[in-house]
Amino acid sequence: MVFLHSSCVLCGGSVSRSISLCESCEGDFPILASACKQCGLPLFKVSEHDTVCGECLKTSSMIDYTLCLFHYQAPLDFLITTLKYKQQLSHAEILGQLLLTRLKQEKKGELPECIIPVPLHKSRLVKRGFNQSIEIARPVAKALKLTIDTKLVERNRKTSAQTDLNASQRRKNVKNCFEIKLQKAINYDHVVIVDDVVTTGSTINELAKLLKQSGVKKVGVWAISRAVLA
């Protein structure tokens, strides 16, 4: 397959691949190599029999598995922040393609029946103009022939930005912030939540809890990056 030459969004160099990101800049992304298989928290020492973090062992997470590609650090964080706050929608295509590539490399387990991007509240959606999780999910869904379901769940109240909150405050902030929009029974057994950045996991865990209460048996997470509170 022949691709038209374009410029790398980070260094401006010539690119002749399917995404506007050169291989050198992609090589600078901080890969999350060792992480908890349930929540995606970075683990510094992982053995074949030690793949779940201590927090997941002692708490009842609603998430069955998580795949996060990178640490939320430079230069990866630039693509995400400029996507969300400077409307650089082309970055969503890049991030989605990187996620797709990793999924194809992993080739583990069965595919979900649908993708559920983390919903934004209506006011934030109007202000931003798009949901970055939906945009990231598009190339993945297209390539893997999966449905993106944006009608099942909605964010029923406007929450404070999670950025300046600690872990406990984040859990309280998102408690009961989602609701099922459809009154009929959910027919999914296995779904995947797509998000751009996972920090404490409060938001995705709240969403997963609602999905499981509504009859979904297995909930996974595909995210671009994993941040850790200082």
Instruction: Please give the model's pTM, rounded to 2 decimal places.
Output: 0.91
Q: What confidence tens digit (pLDDT) does each residue in 212-230 have?
A: 999 999 999 999 999 988 7
104, 64 contact by CB (below 8 A)? no
Structural domain of 13: 1-29
Contacts of 24 (CB under 8 A, 6+ apart): 11, 13
Share of the chain above pLDDT 90, in %: 69
Report residue 110's pLDDT band, with 50, 70 and 90 as the boundaries: confident
Distance from C-alpha of 200 to C-alpha of 141, rounded to nearest angstrom: 26
Residue carrying the six token digits 């999350």: 32
Same domain assignment for residues 46 and 159: yes
Mutual angle of helices 76-86 and 90-106, in 10-degree steps: 140
The per-residue pLDDT for 154 is 94
pLDDT in tens, 23-81: 999 999 999 989 999 999 998 765 666 688 888 888 878 999 999 999 999 999 999 99
Mark whether 15 and 108 lie in a shared domain.
Answer: no
Name the one residue in this structure whose structure tokens are 């999905």.
211
DSSP for 163-214, written as a single string: TT--HHHHHHHHTT-EEE---SPP--SEEEEEEEEESSSHHHHHHHHHHHHT
Task: Please report the pLDDT score of residue 47 as a whole number.
Answer: 61
The answer for residues whose C-beta is within 8 angstroms of residue 40's C-beta and 6 or more apart is 32, 66, 67, 68, 198, 201, 221, 223, 226
Distances (CA, A) of 6 to 22, 66, 95, 100, 177: 10, 33, 17, 20, 41
Total number of domains in the chain:
2
145: CATH: 3.40.50
- Rounded to whole angstroms, the Cα distance separating 93 from 8 reads 13
Per-residue pLDDT for 108 more than 70?
Answer: no
Q: Are residues 127 and 207 in the same domain?
A: yes
Local structure of 138: helix, strand or coil? helix
Pairing state between β 178-180 and 6-7: unpaired
**Rounded mean pLDDT of the chain?**
89
- 23 plus 53 within the same structural domain: no
Confidence of residue 1 (pLDDT cuts 50, 70, 90): very low
The answer to whether residues 103 and 195 belong to one domain is yes
Q: Pairing relation of β-strands 114-117 and 65-71?
A: unpaired
Same domain, 108 and 165: yes
The reply to whether 71 and 103 lie within a common domain is yes
One domain, residues 25 and 39 = no
pLDDT at 2: 42
